[in-house]
Structure 1
Amino acid sequence: MLQAPRGRAGAALWRRAVAVRTMAGASGRARLFDVRSREEAAAGTIPGALNIPVSELESALQMEPAAFQALYSAEKPKLEDEHLIFFCQMGKRGLQAMQLARSLGYTGARNYAGAYREWLEKKG
Structure 2
Amino acid sequence: MKKAIKILGMLMLAFFAVTSITACSDDDDPANNDFFAGTYKGNISYVDSDKNISTNGSVFVTKIASGTKYNFAFSDGIPDLNGVEFQQQGDNTLVMVGSTATSYIRIDNNDLKILYIKDGRTWTANCTR
- Fold shared per TM-score above 0.5: no
Larger strand proportion, structure 1 or 2? Answer: 2
Q: Choose between structure 1 and 2 for higher RCO, CA contacts under 8 A separated by at least 6 residues.
A: 1
